[in-house]
Amino acid sequence: MRLIGKGAMGEVWLADDDLLKRQVALKLLSLSASLSEAEREASIARFYREAQAAGKLSHRNIVVIYDISEEGGRHFISMEYLQGQTLDRVIASGPQPPERAAEIVAQVAEALDYAHRQGVVHRDIKPENIFLLPDGTVKVTDFGIARVMGTTTMTQAGAIIGTPGYMSPEQIKGERVDSRSDIFSTGVVLYELLSGVKPFDAETITSVMYKVVNEPPPPLASLVPGVPAWLAGVVERATAKDPAARYQSASQMASELRSGGAYAEEAAPGTVLLREGAPAKGTVLVTAHAGLEVRCPGCGAGLKQGPKFCPRCGIPVTPAVPAKDAAPATHILQQAAPATVAIHPRLASAAPVPAQPPVPEAAAAAWEAPVKKRGGGRKMIAALLILALAGAALAAFLVLRGGPDRKKAEEKARLSEEASEDKI
């Protein structure tokens, strides 16, 4: 065995599993001699309970827990041995490129989403608990065990749970926490990866906790001028003070990081999804989604791309056309009529978008032309119907008036038929 890590609450040893012929990491629980017997028993019980919760998780981005046991009065966890480095060492090398930071944190969010769906909240997401393997795979460690084990800022008996610089405001205030607390901590890690500095740094723990609860972090753009606006928006939303303003699931955060900001939450039919960089007034940049519909403002009928008029009520509608300089699967939707607009979370602080955007003059002219043309067509159709009715009336009049002549013709035709039969 070889000692590979040590903290105030335990040690980590590298050992060989002779039975399965593999190397494992053994994490040994250290209990302070100052703890009372009741506190020791509570700590051991919590250690086992939380280790068992972590042991039921099976995900490529979560460290594998093999066993939990006791030997010679020492309680330990046998777990997957990881080769690579923790994120605190990665951050110490300097700010990371946006693409790399987004990829790392997307894997963290995917691991958390899985854990949350299994009913496990980490409560201590921080760089030291995130491992980066040489092939780029991320492993999240210390699920639940962080209540007892970790650094000097970690949990002691009766103390707060978590590391102050990464704890959510509700966690610091001692309120009930859920999966959104982990999302806050993940946003803090992303901020640190991009900037190389802690967003709530201060000289004392008390000052750090005050900043987390009451002050926003310095804008990323002021520290990293080249950071993409969408990525800064992900950090801003994840680290919102109000849990309701954050991503409501880690999968949402992971999806946005994976898609480079093009992700938008599912919207109801008839909703136009507004993205950053709308090209001009009266146009909205939308990401093409399966099931995205545009509805007629007059009758509510679903409209497909292509028709210029609503098939039900005839209101003119300008169809969606491909965006010239947009990414694949992106369209420019001309708003020929009022539409429901769902503002992307990153644009919530931007200038409000009116429910019925102003129509450009050129577009207005384009819309009026089909209306006039359609109005002329209706007049022509009405005239043709009148002529047809008049012709039918005239034909009926002639038939009635020519009744005797028609009778003579029928008699003549019948006589001719009799004459033919006689000849046969």
Close Cβ partners of 327 (under 8 Å, ≥ 6 residues apart): 262
Please list, residue by residue across 107-136, b when 16 or more beta carbons sit within 10 angstroms of its beta carbon and e when fewer do: bbbbbbbbbbeeebbbbbbbbbbbbbeeee
Residue in 113, 124, 142, 182 annotated catalytic: 124
Separation between Cα atoms, residue 39 and residue 144, nearest integer Å:
18
The H or E element spanning position 273 is strand 271-274
- Which residue type, as a one-letter code, is found at position 304? K
CB atoms within 10 A of CB 211: 18
Q: Can you count the helices (H) and strands (E) in the chain?
A: 11, 15
**What secondary structure letter does DSSP report for 76?**
E
Structure tokens at 37: 């017997």
Contact 334, 346 (CB under 8 A): no
Contact 215, 209 (CB under 8 A): no
Structure tokens at 93: 């090398």
Structure tokens at 404: 């005797």
**Which phi and psi angles does 345 have, rounded to 5°?**
-50, -35
Separation between Cα atoms, residue 324 and residue 101, nearest integer Å:
30
124 catalytic residue (yes or no) = yes
Separation between Cα atoms, residue 395 and residue 260, nearest integer Å:
72
Q: DSSP states of 377-420 as a string? A: HHHHHHHHHHHHHHHHHHHHHHHHHTHHHHHHHHHHHHHHHHHH
- Which residue type, as a one-letter code, is found at position 363? A
> Looking at the DSSP assignment, which residues form a beta bridge with residue 316?
309
Contact 252, 261 (CB under 8 A): no
Helical segments of 174-333, H only: 179-195, 205-214, 220-223, 229-238, 250-258
> Residues 152, 153, 157, 159: is their CA dihedral positive or negative?
positive
Kindly tell me the burial class for residue 234, based on how many C-beta atoms sit within 10 Å of its own C-beta (0-12, 13-18, 19 or more).
buried
**What are the catalytic residues?**
124
